[in-house]
Amino acid sequence: MNIKEAQLQVDTWIKEHGVRYFNELTNMAQLTEEVGEVARIIARRYGEQSEKESDKDKDLGEELADVVFVVLCLANQTGINLQEAFDKKMDKKTKRDHDRHHNNEKLK
């Protein structure tokens, strides 16, 4: 599935199972909450914080999927073709950063 198809799948889900999209500000708050859940898992599982027993069953993939879902909602409701925007971003990054990271001594 590409991003365009994912946007359509989310839109269909909202129409069939949701009442409507939350407004943009509510979805932004929701996105912030979901990113916080991802940050909590990574900080405790891969960072220096100890992982609480209650966090050990948290699924990082599921939390990342929550972030993607809300991003797709925001793209849909603001009229963004995220596939087009992502392709453009990858092209820009490829041209701009082609040698940048290879020449970074910190990464060797």
pLDDT tens-digit profile of 9-68? 999 999 999 989 999 999 999 999 999 999 999 999 999 989 888 888 999 999 999 999
Which residue do the tokens 């020449």 mark?
A: 103
Q: What is the pLDDT of residue 63?
A: 98
The CA distance from 68 to 65, in Å, is: 5
| Per-residue pLDDT tens over the stretch 73-107 | 999 999 999 999 999 999 999 988 888 888 888 88
Burial degree of 1 (CB within 10 A; 0-12, 13-18, 19+): exposed
Q: ∠ CA 15-20-3 to the nearest 5 degrees? A: 60
Nearest to 35 by CA among 73, 83, 70, 72: 70
